[in-house]
Structure 1
Amino acid sequence: MEQPPGFANSKHPDYVCKLNRALYGLKQAPRAWFQRISSFLISYGFTCSRADPSLFVFTQGESLMYLLVYVDDLILTGNNSSLLTVFINRLHQEFVIKDLGSLNYFLGLEVLHTNDGLVLTQTKYANDIVIRAGLTHAKPVPTPLSTSDTFVSDGVPFDDPTLYRSLVGALQYLTITRPDLAYAVNQACQHLHALTEKHFQLVKRIVRYVKGTISHGLVFTRPTSSTILGYSDADWARCIETRRSTYGYSIFLGGNLVSWSAKKQPTVSRSSCESEYRAMANAAAEIVWITHLLQELRTLPPSRPTLLCDNRSALFMSQNPVSHKRAKHIDLDYHFVRELVMSGKLHTKFVPTKLQLADIFTKSLPRPQFEHFRDLIRVHPLPFRLTGDKR
């Protein structure tokens, strides 16, 4: 390590400093730091969540504290203010930390508190993406992709793959608060190693959509109920090159979107029923994880979760112990979903296609349908506030 400016040894200016310990830059540093902070939290009375290793839960009678750890950034909340104050003082004694007060900014996520909940946005991060793409003065578009846009391998190779990968990686992080981008970004991510001019033009369209909706974010309101409701969907043989299906799901807790996914299935499905059923299995696995997490948070709803699907054949397979030729090769998913339904841990129901919210994660939609589903998954622009409003 070079001698820092102002502290150089005048007699030996070419000498270097011996580094005894460093928090950043070493491969084992994150693991060592997490071991240090987790040991302190466990000794204080916290328990590490089995569903999420970065979450710690403290219980004392009816009092609860939740602590989320991301390297050296911590989020702390609870239902007992005096207990929180005592713990924060103890943290100050153990570590050199800075209390930033109410949560407003975390890992690029902006948190706006409203009268009935909060809004998660990445407005500054989204604006940086638009500037990086050189589209500051570009005309916005109403949807990330048009219904005729497809990512195919044929075409003229793009001469700046680093720019493409940089933009797609940034857009992928933006989907944390913008689930309406999930399908389009997933399509762009599948061509990082063999990209063409056409691919870059489609990514630019996604950025132009971001520019037009730069103030949008994910809205959370006070729940009117505590039910878990999931939507599962698959677009059979969506990929025209591999004929693999694209599946997606969206899971709501008390009316708020808490989990979603848009992915290509790893294998080819022989029928739409098979692709839909595999999508149900993935959604069911996510619902099971959410129930485990809520159970550790002591907020598990009393009613069983419900999974909605718009394919009656897939629903029949989940509710009836009848195996037939078309289901022979999908026994693993069959038994998994079937046993959840039989044990009363999951309820499956039919939903009409026009109400299938997971459609926004499986295909490009026309503008009216896209905007309708975007509203239903609660991606809205920031609420208007007058200057000086302290609410």
Structure 2
Amino acid sequence: MEQPKGFINTQFPAHVCKLNKAIYGLKQAPRAWFHRLSLFLLENGFSCSRADPSLFVYNRDSRMMYLLVYVYVDDIILTGNHRSTIDSFITVLHNEFAIKDLGKLNYFLGLEVTYTQNGIFLNQSKYALDILTRAKMLDAKPAPTPLSTNVSFVSTVTLFPDATFYRSIVGALQYLTITRPDISYAVNQVSQYLHAPTTTHFQEVKRILRYLKGTLAFGLHYTRPTTTSLLGYSDADWARCLETRRSTYGYSIFLGGNLISWSAKKQPTVARSSCESEYRAMANTAAEIVWITHLLQELHALPPNRPTILCDNQSAIFLTQNAVAHKRAKHIDLDYHFLRELVNAGKLATKFVPTKLQVADIFTKSLPSSQFNVFRNMLRVGPPPFSLQGMLDNSYSLHIIYVLIFFIL
């Protein structure tokens, strides 16, 4: 530590400044800012969500307000069902802090929000364009799918010469999956070799970029739902990894027909059967659904019907509905059986779905283009309902979106 140039005290040149409060650039600054803001919100009638500590809920006299804080850049999104209540609170907030109301939500950190006639459209077109520019793939030939059907990911001795560049592109693709669930499986696969990428792995990354080149303006469509049912699709591909023989699982959760949560991951342990891998996948899906129900309950928007998980494996469904000992389930960790308890308690339902309608299949394996397009449409990923030509270079006001809030209001 040393005194900054131009402000050196000649009498005490070895002294340094004593920090009396947190300032920008230090690790404790976001924590101090969030603590100061949360105390103010609690004093003004908000309650902090236990499911998401960055979410605050105001509920008085049927007047609702939801406030979400993005701590690291001090951005706040505020919405509610009563305009005058929102305006009055913004005035109170402005008197306490030096804030600026940027108006309607449009753009934040690569996330673009467009309002349609019956909902919203989320995409990251400008961010995807920046990735293609960085990778020098703007003139690449588009590909119909993120991965070819015969691809196999294994480690080889031919290492990619620029591992830092590989990690940079893959890291950017991970952020792109916020609005592009159709590339989640492909990004998950190439992310498993960040420690030692090979030339073959980089070719698969280029394949993902070629797919993005042809679907640059694609994003997620959300419409105001007529029903608020919570539905989850769970799937697993047994022993997908050729090196570890671990299974890949995925899930997609819909609220009123709108996709709100999805995942594509490798299971931490080896499964002895497809039934076991599917059962573990359903347990992970159930854990996500439980968290979503807690969040919806705090938002005062919990659907009246119990959530449902759809799976295409009859044996796994049998294990969830029958509390009996079975040789296939002897070795499964006990904590996975909380799924069975939720079903027996009537808090969750499990049902069978044919494989051709199992939309979570897109998160577990590479598919042919025809089937891939069907599942992509079921996820409601597609082109915008308007032309984006000429809009990618525009600048928008900074905000952040919290998708669940839109469906409630």
| TM-score of the pair, normalised by structure 1 | 0.94
Q: d(CA) in 1 for partners of 2:32 and 2:308?
A: 41
Determine whether 1:63 maps to 2:63: yes
AA of the residue aligned to 2:266: K
CA distance in 2, matches of 1:186, 1:374: 17
8 A contact 2:283–2:337 mirrored in 1: no
- TM superposition shift of 1:319: 0.7
2:385 is matched with which residue? 383
The count of aligned residue pairs is 384
Aligned-pair CA distance for 1:155: 3.7
TM-superposed deviation, 1:208: 1.1
Determine which structure has greater relative contact order: mean sequence separation of CA pairs < 8 Å that are 6+ residues apart, divided by chain length: 2
Taking the TM superposition and a 5 Å limit, the aligned residue runs for 1:314-333 are 314-333=316-335
How many Å separate the matches in 2 of 1:54 and 1:253? 21
Q: State the secondary structure of the residue aligned to 1:326.
A: coil
**Structure 2 residues without counterparts, runs of 5 or longer:** 390-409
SS of equivalent residue, structure 1 residue 359: helix
Q: Secondary structure at the match of 1:329?
A: coil
Cross-structure match for 1:288? 290
Deviations 1:171-203, CA, capped at 9 Å, x for gaps: 000000000010000001100001101111110
Q: Distance in 2 between matches of 1:171 and 1:196?
A: 18
Deviation at 1:108, TM superposition (A): 1.9
Kept after mapping to 2: 8 A contact 1:236/1:246: yes
Of 59-68 and 334-343, the range deviating more from structure 2: 334-343
Secondary structure of 1:328's counterpart equals: coil
* CA–CA separation in structure 1 for the residues paired with 2:130 and 2:159: 26
Aligned-partner residue type, residue 55 of structure 1? L
The AA in structure 2 aligned to 1:325 is: K
Q: Which residue of 2 aligns with 1:186?
A: 188
- Check the 8 A contact 2:65/2:86 in 1, yes or no: yes
Deviation at 1:45, TM superposition (A): 1.0
Query: Segments of 4+ in structure 1 off by > 4 A?
Result: 1-4, 8-12, 15-22
Unaligned 5+ residue runs, structure 1? none
| Contact in 2 for aligned 1:257/1:378 (Cα 8 Å) | yes
Distance 1:59 1:228 in 2: 23
**Aligned equivalent of 2:198, options 186, 196, 199:** 196
Checking the alignment, whether the CA contact within 8 Å between 2:22 and 2:28 is kept in structure 1 is no
Q: Letter of the 1:64 partner, please give it.
A: M
Structure 2 counterpart SS, 1:52? coil
Q: Aligned-pair distance for 1:234?
A: 0.2
Deviation at 1:335, TM superposition (A): 2.6
User: 2:399 matched to 1:368?
Assistant: no
Letter in 2 for 1:42: L
What TM-score do the two structures reach when normalised by structure 2?
0.90
Q: Deviations over 1:266-325 (max 9, x none)?
A: 000000000000000000000000100000000000000010000000000011122111
Q: Residue 386 and residue 199 in structure 1: after superposition, are their counterparts in 2 closer, same or farther (change >3 A)?
A: closer
Report the Cα offset of residue 27 of structure 1.
Answer: 1.4
RMSD, aligned α-carbons = 2.1
Task: Tell me whether 1:41 sits opposite 2:41 in the alignment.
Answer: yes
Identity of aligned residues (%): 69
Q: Which amino acid aligns with 2:162?
A: D
C-alpha distance in 2, partners of 1:309/1:10?
68
Which of the residues 144, 161, 164 maps onto 1:162?
164
Mapping of residues 210-249 of structure 1, within 5 Å = 210-249=212-251
Task: Please give the secondary structure, in 1, of the residue aligned with 2:304.
Answer: coil
